């Protein structure tokens, strides 16, 4: 079986994504590979397909038990023999799995680095490794954002298994981390594949300077307007996770929190509920993420500015893994900056962490296409503006901000450059707080000079000045603001500066509006087909005790809605429906679609289009003539005729496909193996039987076997 045939048979896809085919071929050629591919970009398929084509068992090193289980459940749902070994299993269970590997019955075996190194001889003797895949490979590098010491011992494996290919995979790694991964794993002249990091289906938005109460109101309103969508809210602290989930529950939102300070069983329960669509919203620290392979997360919100671009990119990558449109939103204010600077200075590699923080701050403050900045960080250039970020949707305007800037700089200078942002804003706005009076700042010429500008707007203007290098923070002087040489040129009139016109902040909602939002339930329309299929999927998921997206992704359900398949052939053309899944679930979904099409409320019954083809066929028109008359493709006409034949509407197809041609196709199927793809049959028959005739012949064979 070829890689393409494996892709169609087990995964239900007709084409590989960019780079996947080249990566698979490299592995099949027994070469080491380093794959840098974004979350949701299809990394796993790069080693799963070679695993099915090579003799032996692919050993997959994965850092989290939950992630292993999710991957194995997905593989089994596709009819692929896969298992995992971890500490939750008994010795007997582990032995049974290893014996199955020895018998050649397991294509992929997932293990943690600790488990593999502890039981290396037993596992390697029983599993007969065909290749070794290291998932989340950035964990091996101390330069990586999620360094895990246990990964550093894996370099030894390259020497022990010198005869098999190694593939290291990660979603986020800058140049220095990529080099370190290859070095630490002792990869042999690895071929490096860097996929595009452009997740076009993710919209990007940043909200600056929003007060905590307003922020909660905005987020609650956002979620309420998306009642059937799952999402994650990332927070910097455990306390924030708990507080935010409590406040969201006051709005009637199904939310809970997740962080490393919780008991393991409580974390596991939250994660399982979220994965299984029993919980709509999780407020989490970054501890929540690596174990989540959920494909239908529709939005991700960052309640605070993240520490670096790598973490931010990986976290927003939890959304829209199925390729459907998804939203991301980042909230950012001055307090975040102070807190993150403190974290960066107190941790190891302070200079590196501060530089990474500067880059994410630059992204948040951007007044040009955000996606360009994000991709540029990962050494990728986007030629055109993306059109799917808040800056592109509402292009920023600029104004001469010299006077505003001079007011701020003058106040800083008059306070001897020893105060931070909060004190500066209070002075500019003319506050008479006790500490201002005690310091004598109410006597300054600049006291009240900016009273016409709102406090939150001052904060956002000052962040612009920090971002363009007019001001800098003295971290070792309690974050006092200092004027740079560039700032002095502006202060003394030697140069001017343009500032960005601030995007409007939504007004704070009044309490009665909050109550009305809380009490309002969205009106329930008549069930659409997507909702019907979603419920059917949930029934299967509950029976099999797996997440719903493992049965079929949202993208596959949407493809069913668009195509409305009514027979086996058409269902197997739907992206994401492989042969194994069709035999397990296909008929149930076909029946649901048929029932929907028969209801009077359905806007367009698909049966109508078949009936039109049937009527013209009975009038003795040829398929080509029907195609012209109906303004559809000839291929579609043949698909209609096959459907009508299988439903008994047409008694025979002898005029269109001969018994000899049917016999040739049947023979080809027996030799090739059960297939729904016409291309292998077409090629086996040396292109002597056309695709339309193969389609009709397959219908004849299907009806005969039924």
The string of pLDDT tens digits covering residues 310-330 is 889 989 989 998 889 999 999
- pLDDT at residue 607, as a whole number: 56
Q: What pLDDT does residue 583 have?
A: 85
Domains of the chain, start order: 3-194 (3.40.50.300), 202-393 (3.40.50.300), 398-500 (1.10.10.10), 529-705 (1.10.150.80)
- pLDDT tens-digit profile of 450-468? 999 988 889 889 888 887 7
Strand spans (E) along 469-513: 471-474, 480-483, 498-500
- In this predicted structure, what is the pLDDT of residue 649? 87
From 311, 258, 279, select the one nearest 145 (Cα to Cα): 311
Residue 424 token pair: 């500066």
Can you list the positions of beta strands (E) in 448-554?
Answer: 471-474, 480-483, 498-500
pLDDT digits (tens, 9 = 90+) for 529-545: 999 999 999 999 988 88
- 343's tokens: 């974290």
Is residue 42 scored above 60 in pLDDT? yes
Position 509 pLDDT exceeds 60: no
End-to-end CA distance of the chain: 26
Write the DSSP symbol of residue 253. Answer: -
- Name the band, by pLDDT with cuts 50, 70 and 90, for residue 507: very low
- Tens of pLDDT, residue by residue over 238-289, are 999 999 999 999 999 999 999 888 898 898 899 889 988 899 999 998 767 6
* pLDDT (0 to 100) of residue 506: 43
- Per DSSP, the residues of 661-680 read HHHHHHHHHHHH-S---HHH
Determine the pLDDT at residue 567.
Answer: 80
pLDDT value, residue 209: 82
DSSP helix/strand/coil, 400 = strand
Find tokens 């809210």 and name the residue: 233
Q: How far is CA 379 from the centre of its chain?
A: 20
Predicted model pTM: 0.70
Burial class (CB in 10 A: 0-12, 13-18, 19+), 512: exposed
Closest CA to 201 of 42, 18, 330, 324: 324
pLDDT, position 677:
67
Per-residue pLDDT, 189: 92
Alpha helices per DSSP H over 366-454: 370-377, 390-393, 402-414, 421-428, 434-439
More confident position, 443 or 382: 443
Which runs of consecutive H residues, i.e. helices, occur in 225-316? 238-250, 264-275, 309-316
pLDDT of residue 388: 95
- Tokens representing 592 are 């649901």
What is the predicted pLDDT for the residue at 79? 92
pLDDT tens-digit series, residues 482-492 = 999 999 999 99
- The CA distance from 643 to 611, in Å, is 11
pLDDT mean over 206-223: 91
Model pLDDT, residue 515: 43
The per-residue pLDDT for range 563-597, each reduced to its tens digit, is 888 788 888 888 899 888 988 898 889 888 888 87
Evaluate if residue 524 carries a pLDDT over 60. no
Contact indicator for 389, 203 with CB cutoff of 8 Å:
yes
494 three-class SS:
coil
Rounded Cα–Cα distance for residues 656 and 650 (Å): 12
Q: Phi first, then psi: what are they for 130, rounded to 5°?
A: -95, -25
The Cα diameter of the chain in Å comes to: 102
Dihedral angle computed from the Cα positions of residues 26, 30, 34 and 35, in that order, rounded to the nearest 10 degrees:
40
Residue at token pair 């931070």: 420
pLDDT at 302 over 90: yes
List own/partner pairs for 503-509 with CB under 8 A and 24 or more apart.
503/208, 503/390, 503/394, 503/396, 505/207, 505/209, 505/210, 505/214, 505/456, 506/214, 506/218, 508/211, 508/213, 508/214, 508/217, 509/214, 509/217, 509/221
Q: What proportion of the chain, given as a percentage, has pLDDT over 90?
A: 42
Q: Which two tokens stand for residue 472?
A: 């800098």
């Amino acid at each position: 079986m070829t890689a393409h045939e494996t892709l169609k048979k087990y995964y239900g896809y007709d084409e590989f994504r960019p780079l996947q085919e080249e990566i698979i071929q490299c592995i099949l050629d027994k070469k080491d590979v380093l794959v840098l591919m974004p979350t949701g970009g299809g990394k796993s398929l790069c080693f799963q397909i070679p695993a099915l084509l090579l003799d032996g068992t692919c050993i997959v090193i994965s850092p989290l038990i939950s992630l292993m289980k999710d991957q194995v459940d997905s593989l089994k749902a596709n009819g692929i023999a896969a298992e995992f070994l971890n500490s939750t299993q008994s010795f007997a269970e582990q032995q049974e799995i290893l014996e199955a590997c020895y018998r050649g019955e397991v294509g992929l075996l997932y293990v943690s680095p600790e488990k593999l190194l502890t039981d290396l001889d037993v596992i390697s003797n029983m599993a007969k490794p065909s290749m070794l895949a290291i998932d989340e490979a950035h964990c091996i590098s101390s330069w990586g954002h999620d360094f895990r010491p246990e990964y550093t011992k894996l370099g030894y494996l390259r020497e022990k298994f010198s005869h098999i290919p190694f593939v290291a995979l990660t979603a986020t790694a800058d140049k220095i981390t990529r080099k370190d991964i290859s070095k630490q794993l002792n990869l042999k002249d690895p071929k490096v594949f860097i996929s595009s990091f452009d997740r076009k289906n993710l919209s990007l938005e940043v909200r600056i300077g929003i007060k905590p109460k307003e922020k909660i109101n905005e987020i609650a309103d956002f979620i309420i307007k998306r009642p059937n969508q799952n999402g994650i809210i990332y927070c910097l602290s455990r306390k924030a996770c708990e507080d935010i989930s409590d406040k969201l529950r006051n709005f009637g939102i199904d939310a809970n929190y997740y962080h490393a300070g919780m008991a393991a069983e409580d974390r596991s329960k939250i994660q399982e509920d979220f994965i299984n669509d029993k919980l709509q919203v999780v407020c989490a620290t970054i501890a929540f993420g690596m174990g989540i392979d959920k494909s239908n997360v529709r939005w991700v919100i960052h309640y605070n500015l993240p520490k670096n671009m790598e973490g931010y990119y990986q976290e927003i990558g939890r959304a829209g893994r199925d390729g459907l449109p998804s939203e991301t939103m980042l909230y950012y204010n001055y307090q975040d900056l102070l807190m993150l600077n403190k974290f960066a200075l107190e941790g190891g590699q302070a200079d590196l962490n501060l530089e990474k923080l500067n880059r994410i701050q630059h992204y948040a403050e951007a007044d040009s296409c955000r996606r360009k900045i994000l991709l540029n960080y990962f050494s990728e250039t986007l030629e055109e503006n993306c059109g799917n970020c808040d800056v592109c949707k509402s292009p920023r305007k600029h104004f001469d901000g010299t006077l505003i800037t001079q007011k701020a700089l003058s106040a800083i200078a008059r306070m001897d450059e020893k105060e931070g942002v909060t004190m500066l804003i209070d002075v500019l706005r003319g506050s008479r707080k006790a500490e201002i009076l005690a310091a004598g700042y109410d006597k300054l010429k600049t006291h009240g000079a900016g009273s016409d500008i709102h406090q939150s707007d001052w904060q956002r203007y000052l962040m612009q000045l920090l971002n363009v290098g007019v001001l800098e923070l003295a971290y070792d002087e309690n974050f006092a603001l200092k004027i740079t040489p560039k700032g002095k040129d502006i202060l003394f009139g030697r140069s001017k500066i343009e500032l960005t016109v601030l995007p409007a902040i939504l007004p704070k909602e009044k309490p009665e509006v909050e109550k009305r939002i809380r009490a309002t339930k969205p009106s329930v329309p008549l069930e659409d087909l997507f909702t019907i299929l979603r419920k059917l999927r949930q029934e299967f998921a509950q029976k099999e005790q797996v997440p719903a997206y493992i049965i079929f992704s949202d993208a596959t359900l949407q493809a069913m809605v668009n195509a409305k398949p009514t027979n086996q052939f058409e269902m197997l053309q739907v992206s994401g429906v492989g042969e194994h899944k069709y035999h397990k679930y296909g008929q149930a979904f076909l029946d649901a679609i048929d029932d929907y099409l028969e209801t009077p409320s359905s806007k367009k019954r698909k049966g109508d289009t078949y009936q039109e083809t049937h009527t013209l066929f009975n009038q003795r028109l040829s398929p080509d003539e029907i195609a012209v008359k109906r303004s559809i493709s000839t291929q579609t006409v043949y698909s209609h005729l096959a459907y009508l034949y299988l439903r008994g509407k047409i008694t025979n197809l002898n005029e269109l496909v001969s018994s000899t041609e049917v016999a040739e196709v049947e023979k080809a199927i027996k030799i090739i193996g059960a297939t729904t793809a016409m291309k292998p049959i077409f090629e086996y028959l040396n292109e002597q039987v056309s695709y339309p005739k193969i389609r009709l012949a397959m219908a004849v064979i299907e009806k005969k076997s039924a």
